[in-house]
Chain A
């Protein structure tokens, strides 16, 4: 279970008066969070923008080939290093709108972290389209948005399906009438997942989460796992 998250910003507050004011603001804000989602999840802990699922998804057993230069084809497990975080996104490089938006926003969020924090966050981009996303394309595409990311690609459908199911990711291939069948797309879930060292998804960002919110969540979570 997620520990409560009190006082994460306390070191910034010197005067007791300020502390009381912050606590009051938090109390007022909490009920406003409401419930925006279906069963099995609830609003994030105080201070987090993303969604916390309870119980958390266990994804640590998932291993996928890392085709980026960082991995050279070795299997990468879906768990962070101790004291760090792993951010995982499923997408495809032919995606013109949703995927580049998310990767770009994630890259901007990561760029705002101090180098000591940035080093504790690994990023994995999993293609749901290994047919068109070669290792070379994957690597170049990811690097364009996120420095030092891991491009994960498997040609084994069962391995990809197992990975998707662990994260509850959907990806349905779509072709468009009257168009080249090779120009297919996907209907796909578009959340971004933050995984801890135990292989648990501790936070999910829906599509459209702002870079500043991702940044704040990463800072808070790094403090929690550090």
Chain B
């Protein structure tokens, strides 16, 4: 793979700047490693991001989500810690996780939700009281913001419906099937990666 480089060498940035510039040029020529022309990006570093897509939504929708397949080819764990899209797509972006609570739970606490984020819960105003224990196999789905989405060493993290996703907040307009837009992903170790999301049904 002539296009392999580690973004983590950035600490020697000053000395390596010309080299990096050359590498970036070379990497650009490598193009997508998916070979299918689908939305993808980041073929040159330890983090490979493919299958980047957003769910189509109508003009009237407020929020949306971006999904992707993130592969970490290095032997060190990494994490997605931020993302951004042009304001022509949405006003804001947050990393989110949809989690399933106990079936029919309907309570308003954050028990069992894990503790690695600041985000869930708050002032809950229950509408689901007295409904406990009767939704078999389709328990409550709850979304919560997360600070980081871990990408295991040598492993894959899928951002997918009902799981981790990048939430688009205050969409600027319709997301039409087939449209594409840029997404900038920020990783704890690997740095910044620009990818292209495709709008799908």
A172 touches B128 (CB 8 A): yes
Given A164-B127, A174-B124, A185-B143, also A206-B63 (CB < 8 A): no
Return the CB mask of A137-173 against B: 1 if under 8 Å, else 0. Answer: 1001101100000000000000001001100111111
How far is B55's CA from A37's CA once the two chains are assembled, in angstroms? 30
Q: Which residues in window 96-155 of B have CB below 8 A to A?
A: 96, 98, 100-101, 103-108, 118-128, 131, 133-145
B22 CB–A CB distance under 8 Å: no
- How many angstroms between the C-alpha atoms of A36 and B137 in the bound complex? 7
Chain B residues with Cβ under 8 A from A191's Cβ? 135, 137-138
Dominant secondary structure at the A interface: mixed
What is the bound-complex CA distance between A189 and B63, given in angstroms? 19
Is there contact, CB below 8 Å, between A137 and B124?
A: no
Given contacts A96-B63, A168-B134, A206-B137, A173 and B103 within 8 Å (CB-CB): no
Is B72 close to A, CB under 8 A? no
Check B58–A101 contact: CB distance below 8 A: no
Which single residue of chain A is at the shortest CB-CB distance from B171? A96
> In the bound complex, how far is the Cα of B63 from the Cα of A108, in angstroms?
21
The answer to whether B138 and A93 touch across the interface, beta carbons within 8 angstroms, is: no
Q: Check: A74 CB closer than 8 A to any chain B CB.
A: no
Query: Is the C-beta of B71 less than 8 angstroms from some C-beta in chain A?
Result: no
B6 contacts A by Cβ under 8 Å? no
Chain B residues within 8 Å of A104, by CB: 55-56, 201
Sort A-B residue pairs by CB-CB distance and give the 4 closest, nearest first. Answer: A170-B128, A191-B138, A96-B63, A144-B58
Query: Chain B: residues with CB nearer than 8 A to chain A?
Result: 55-65, 96, 98, 100-101, 103-108, 118-128, 131, 133-145, 161-162, 165, 167-169, 201
A-B contact pairs, 25 of them (CB 8 A): A38-B133, A51-B136, A51-B138, A93-B61, A98-B141, A101-B161, A104-B56, A168-B134, A170-B127, A170-B135, A172-B140, A173-B124, A173-B127, A174-B120, A175-B124, A176-B122, A177-B121, A187-B101, A187-B140, A187-B141, A188-B142, A191-B138, A206-B137, A207-B138, A208-B161
A residues near B (Cβ < 8 Å) are: 36-41, 51, 53, 93-98, 100-101, 104, 107-108, 128, 132, 136-137, 140-141, 143-144, 161, 164-165, 168-178, 181, 183, 185, 187-191, 204, 206-208
